[in-house]
């Protein structure tokens, strides 16, 4: 599953040489969590992730708010991908309430979802650049994401968290001439990120730090239950937008990006390729979207779900993101549980880091597309 320790290095035989390091939670490379790492010289003997330092209690809070007022706080765990964390919640509530979303709203939600996916991915990629000592890899994504943040601000009125998806559609329609502005900026954005290939993914720094580091086989990726770019980088063709399409994804033209190497380099490359597909999705959605029509079904105050439960999931920037809602004929959910890609991918970390050199830890860790705030919820 993971690299074996070099000959002669085993926990049983070298206890006196083992050193324990606490990486985080204040460490800039720990991402609001702690890693308890035991090393023998320069080699990692074991890694014990210790999450929970930014726990928010979102799922419990949802039991005290109705289906509408849950919207703003549920997007907080994934600040940079707020549309996609609200997506499965809205789909689930719509199932509970028997709501049929207007056709135009479905396209608008897909466009917002893909824009937000790219905004999150660029944020993740920028931090990866800092982890690897590649400052240009921080500056370029940090600057290019402003193109899409501007579009989301035009759509939603906010630049970071948007509270744009609501049960029944979206909070408001697109502004005038948005389609033309969006098409121009997405086309320019696509040209920009295509340049990432030669400057980042052909760069000796990135290649030396990530190739053959933290190799996850196809079998282990499936057995450990990984998702998203981690799963697809190990050769598994699985994308919920394709396998379980929601809203209008089945009507749009795009492909799933799959690599077979399973190392940190492949895991860093899949999200970049996904951004190129997001540009295709947005263009196709703009072309096929009805030019007029409602974008929201107006609900009565305090709508009540039935005595049932529902589970819906979407493909977020970190992989599968599901929402399980239990209703008991009240305006508030009886129970709400989020299943997030970050938590599912965290299980890989101890396996992939065992036997790696300590210097490879940041490259392997951040390649797992793990966002601690999402996992702690």
Consecutive 10-residue averages of pLDDT for the chain (377 residues): 52 68 74 85 89 85 91 87 92 93 94 94 90 87 92 91 91 92 94 92 89 91 92 93 92 92 92 94 94 89 88 92 93 92 89 89 88 83
Confirm whether 114 is domain-assigned: yes
Q: Quick check: is 218 in a domain? A: yes
pLDDT at 323: 94
Q: What is the pLDDT of residue 7?
A: 54
Q: Tell me the C-alpha distance between 358 and 360, whole Å.
A: 5
Print burial letters for 331-354: b (CB count within 10 Å at least 16), e (below 16).
ebbeebebebbbbbbbebbbbbbb
Q: Tell me, what CATH number does 160's domain have? A: 1.10.645.10
Whether 11 maps to a domain, the answer reads no
Question: What is the radius of gyration, based on Cα positions, of the chain?
Answer: 21
Number of domains within the chain: 1
Residues 34-65 have pLDDT tens digits of: 889 999 888 999 999 888 888 888 889 989 99
Q: What is the pLDDT at residue 370?
A: 86
Question: In this predicted structure, what is the pLDDT of residue 28?
Answer: 64
- Cβ contact 363:264 at 8 Å: yes
Q: Is residue 296, in this structure, part of any structural domain at all? A: yes
Task: Output the pLDDT for position 78.
Answer: 84
Neighbours of 11 (CB within 10 A): 12
Looking at the domain assignment, is residue 323 inside a domain?
yes
Domain membership of residue 50 (yes or no) is no
pLDDT at 3: 56
DSSP per-residue letters across 272-296: HHHHHHHHHHHHHHHHHS-SSS-SB
User: Across 1-42, where does the E strand assignment appear?
Assistant: 18-23, 34-40
pLDDT tens, 218-263? 999 999 999 999 999 999 999 999 999 999 999 998 999 999 998 9
pTM for the whole structure: 0.90
Domain that holds residue 209: 58-376
Residue 205 belongs to some domain of the structure:
yes
Helices 82-97, 103-131: inter-axial angle, 10-degree rounding: 150
115 in any annotated domain: yes
Confidence at residue 64, expressed as pLDDT on a 0 to 100 scale: 92
């Amino acid at each position: 599953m993971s690299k074996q320790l070099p000959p002669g290095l085993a926990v049983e035989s070298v206890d006196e040489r083992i050193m324990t390091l606490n990486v985080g939670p204040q460490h800039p490379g720990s991402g609001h969590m702690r890693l308890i790492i035991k090393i023998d010289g320069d080699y990692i003997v074991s890694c014990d992730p210790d999450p929970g330092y930014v726990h928010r209690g979102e799922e419990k809070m949802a039991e005290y708010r109705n289906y509408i007022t849950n919207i703003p706080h549920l997007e907080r765990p994934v600040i940079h991908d707020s549309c996609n964390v609200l997506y499965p919640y809205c789909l689930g509530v719509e199932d509970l309430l028997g709501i049929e979303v207007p056709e135009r709203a479905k396209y608008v939600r897909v466009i917002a979802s893909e824009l937000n996916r790219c905004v999150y991915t660029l944020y993740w990629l920028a931090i990866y650049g800092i982890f690897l000592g590649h400052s240009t890899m921080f500056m370029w994504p940090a600057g290019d994401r402003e193109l899409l943040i501007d579009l989301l601000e035009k759509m939603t009125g906010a630049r970071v968290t948007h509270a744009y998806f609501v049960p029944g559609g979206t909070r408001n329609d697109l502004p005038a001439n948005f389609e033309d502005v969006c098409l121009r900026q997405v086309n320019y954005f696509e040209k920009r990120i295509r340049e990432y290939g030669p400057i980042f993914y052909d760069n000796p720094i990135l290649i030396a730090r990530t190739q053959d580091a933290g190799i996850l086989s196809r079998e282990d990726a499936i057995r450990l239950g990984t998702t998203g770019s981690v799963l697809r980088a190990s050769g598994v063709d699985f994308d919920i937008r394709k396998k379980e399409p929601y809203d209008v994804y089945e009507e749009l033209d795009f492909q799933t990006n799959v690599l077979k190497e399973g190392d940190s380099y492949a895991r860093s490359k899949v999200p970049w390729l996904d951004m190129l597909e997001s540009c295709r999705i947005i263009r196709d959605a703009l072309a096929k979207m009805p030019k007029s029509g409602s974008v929201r079904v107006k609900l009565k105050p305090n709508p009540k779900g039935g005595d049932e439960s529902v589970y819906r999931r979407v493909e977020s920037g970190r992989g599968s993101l599901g929402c399980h809602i239990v209703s008991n004929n009240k305006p508030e959910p009886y129970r709400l549980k989020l299943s997030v890609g970050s938590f599912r991918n965290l299980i890989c970390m101890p396996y992939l880091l065992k036997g790696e050199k300590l210097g490879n830890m940041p490259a392997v860790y951040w390649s797992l597309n793990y966002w601690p705030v999402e996992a702690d919820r």
